[in-house]
Amino acid sequence: KCAHRRLVCQAEQKPYYTSKLWWCGIALLGLGEVGNFTAYGFAPIALVAPLGCVSVIGSAFISVFFLKKTMRTADILGGTLTITGIYLLVTFTPSVPQELTARQVQNYLVSWPFLVYSILEIIIFCILLYFYKRKAVKHIVVLLMMVALLASLTVIAVKAVSSMIALSVKGKMQLTYSIFYMMIVLMAASCAFQIKFLNQAVHLYEATAVVPINFVFFTTSATISGVIFYREFQSAALLSVFMFLFGCLLSFLGVIIIARNKKEEHLQIPFIDCGHIPGQKLTGKIQPDSHSSCYGTQNKEDDSVKRQ
């Protein structure tokens, strides 16, 4: 964002991919996703998925320094609620063994709770896809629910692939099993379709609406898939479950407060900036008001001079 703003202000317009700052941002974004991928191999899905809210509060506070945004009271309140929710999530997430072998993943894949969950998910997704394709229903809830349903498969596959790679690095080779490559295909396919529907939602609606709704739907879907597929809350105490859900609720509320009523910034130049003209006093815009009668034409004095 900072790179795009700098390029817009330059006299000579250059493509964004020529900016070193832009490439630095892309590299950091990629590094963050690698860390997110790795985290699934060492921690429960129920913990990793809700911690995505850190990026929301992080961007809100970092934008104050890099983009010179004004710190709002809503940002402070939302950040406080989100941090409190994160503390509860980290404290009360059940501790379960994270070393997943290829055979364990195979057993989970054919277990009856996951089969029932998969059938219900496929039915709901097909109904939503019918309304999306046949009835042209492109409501934000429909689009982001399809994203969330696909995301549940993505996190299952990501955790399986990350865990098997981690075990292989430790010396317990898991990459020779066919389930490893099946999970890679599932991960890539579900991510591709997620991008399609998420891109459609961002195109039709403001990011301030898409971000909180997508976070709530994604976290809920990912947590349910972790509970059903990897049985992460199988031996958890009732108090731990309650405090975990309360932590999720605080995180959801914090993200919604941060994103609420935040104005979108469009990088557009409202008028043609010709710089300072020697000997002339600039008192207004170079380009006239588009609603005036002389928009796009010369004034009467110029016309008379031209005729003479």
For the chain, what are the domain ranges?
44-96+238-268, 98-231
Measured CA distances, 289 to 5, 153, 176, 281, 298 (Å)? 25, 52, 68, 19, 13
pTM of model > 0.85? no
Measured CA distances, 136 to 132, 192, 205, 217 (Å)? 5, 21, 16, 22
Encode the chain (308 residues) as per-residue pLDDT tens digits: 788 778 877 777 778 778 888 899 889 988 988 998 999 888 889 889 888 888 877 887 788 887 777 888 888 898 899 999 999 998 998 776 667 899 999 999 999 999 999 999 999 999 999 999 988 888 999 999 999 999 999 999 999 999 999 999 988 899 999 999 999 999 999 999 999 999 889 888 887 788 889 999 999 999 999 999 988 888 788 898 999 999 999 999 999 988 876 665 555 544 444 444 455 554 544 455 545 444 444 444 445 444 44
pLDDT for 279: 53
24: nearest Cα among 9, 2, 56: 2
pLDDT for 262: 65
pLDDT for 273: 45
Measured CA distances, 274 to 149, 220, 282 (Å)? 51, 52, 10
Q: Which amino acid is at 92?
A: F
Task: Read off φ and ψ for residue 175, nearest 5 degrees.
Answer: -80, -5
